[in-house]
Amino acid sequence: MALLIKGGEIITADSRTRADIFIEHETITSIGLDFYPPPGTEIIDATGKLVFPGFIDPHVHIHLPFMATFAKDTHATASKAALIGGTTTFIEMCCPSRNEDALDGYNTWKQKAEGHSFCDYAFHMAVTRYDAATEAQLREIVRDGTTSFKVFLAYKNFFGVTDEELFNSLTLAAELGVITTAHCENAELIGQLQQALLAEGKTGPEWHEPSRPEAVEAEGTARFATFLEQTGATGYVVHLSCAPALRAAVEAKLRGVKLHIESVVPHFLLDKTYAEREGIEGMKHVMSPPLRDKRNQPALWSALQAGLIDTVGTDHCPFDLEQKLLGTNAFTQIPNGIPGIEDRVNLMYTYGVKRGVLDIHRFVDALSTRPAKLFGLFPRKGTIAVGADADLVVYDPEYRGTISVATQHTNNDYNGFDGFYIEGRPTHVTVRGKVQVRNGVFVGEPGRGHLIRREPQCNIGAHHAG
């Protein structure tokens, strides 16, 4: 059935137009005024609403075996939460551990998602070991359309790679033209600092941040940039949290390193005092890199507005309270992660756009267009244009509400943003032309979401700059 979204104000990364959008067979076929739609066309009245391209979350964890447990969401629960919040595509980290076979892991992740996601999705393939067999498998995974890698410089002996493996992964990535995303913290320093703190009897969640100080993240970021420079690969720092790491990344950008930056919602809005709360309240807010001193936030907001921070993701990673309590006797055992897939758009709209610190077009760019461009989804996704997938968000800027664990859709018993006031939310959300959220209520069709296969997006050909 055809769909007409009528009377809204279309906002993209670079334009603002009052026009109607006509959709047939999953794609946008016309944008204009005074349509006479064929009988049977479904009409959504968007008068007084904004119409955004479907938002893309470039960093989520759904199936995740990690820290002796598993993250809580399924692809059904996470994608439902995503859609309610206006996210129509997510990119999940496919993270087999170092002891697992990369291709087996990739197939497991694909099977977990297939037929269960309500929205579209893709994967970043984690390289957690590098040897000849893994290299052959990575080539096959890229041929299958998963054209971005993930490396961890933290989590030694589990997800973490050695410098030699990092070099080899980036060399392969440069040859294949795929972008490499990276968790940048110095694993060795973290291990040493953790042991020293525990030996002093410092076991509570408030010690998580001191065990991974800002300098440890800045070192990881600078090292990643150096390895990109020497291999000619293109990189993307995930969840950059603080001013020293930002300086290291921007310094690299300025000297021509092909490096992009993601920050995630918790680092813009929460700070380390949340993790310093007593017991389980603090544990809820343990993630890595940790929530930082609040003085870092103005730098993150202004770098985002300036486009130096390219994208905003969530690092959605839900562990419930029982799981968080695994770390009762040692902060090193608290499963790292905070959920957020449902709330990213509303929080960044409220605390960025409405507060006047983030231009509305940069908001669309950082949360949709630039993730689409960096990860090979554009122009199919990330914009509103004839020929693009009809992934659309009709957004009510007059809505007023409060984030609450009682009304959330993600499969978890807490919300790190519980009680945050929001000014705006999606009323209607479509995935390739099918309405999945209507009047703020989930009406999704199970299995609507597809794996989006992508082409390599970086310059092809290895190049050694050093």
Using CB under 6 A, list all residues that contact ligand URP.
61, 183, 287-288, 315, 317, 336-337
Instruction: Indicate whether 124 belongs to the interface with Zn ion (CB under 5 A).
Output: no
Neighbours of 464 (CB within 10 A): 10
**Nearest approach, Cβ of 37 to Zn ion (angstroms)?**
43
Among 63, 124, 150, 183, binds Zn ion (CB under 5 A): 183
- Residue 336 touches which of ligand URP, Zn ion, none (Cβ within 5-8 Å per kind): ligand URP
CA distance 211 to 239: 17
Burial of 16 (0-12, 13-18, 19+ CB in 10 A): exposed
**Nearest approach, Cβ of 64 to ligand URP (angstroms)?**
7
CA distances from 420 to 85, 348, 407 (A): 14, 12, 13
Instruction: Indicate whether 63 belongs to the interface with Zn ion (CB under 5 A).
Output: no
Binding mask 130-169 for Zn ion (x = CB under 5 A): ----------------------------------------
Pick out residues in 282-321 that bind Zn ion (CB under 5 A): 315
Contact 184, 261 (CB under 8 A): no
Instruction: Say which residues have a Cβ less than 8 Å from residue 82's Cβ, sequence separation at least 6.
Output: 57, 60, 88, 90, 118, 119, 341, 342
Do strands 9-11 and 16-18 pair parallel, antiparallel, or not at all (unpaired)?
A: antiparallel
- Residue 168 touches which of ligand URP, Zn ion, none (Cβ within 5-8 Å per kind): none
**Nearest approach, Cβ of 429 to Zn ion (angstroms)?**
24
**Nearest approach, Cβ of 444 to ligand URP (angstroms)?**
26
Instruction: Say which residues have a Cβ less than 8 Å from residue 83's Cβ, sequence separation at least 6.
Output: 118, 119, 429, 431, 436, 437, 442, 444
342 or 391, CB closer to ligand URP? 342
Instruction: Indicate whether 217 belongs to the interface with Zn ion (CB under 5 A).
Output: no
Neighbours of 33 (CB within 10 A): 10
262 or 389, CB closer to ligand URP? 262
261 or 431, CB closer to ligand URP? 261
**Nearest approach, Cβ of 64 to Zn ion (angstroms)?**
8
Burial of 303 (0-12, 13-18, 19+ CB in 10 A): buried
**Nearest approach, Cβ of 315 to ligand URP (angstroms)?**
5
User: What are the residues binding Zn ion (CB under 5 A)?
Assistant: 183, 315
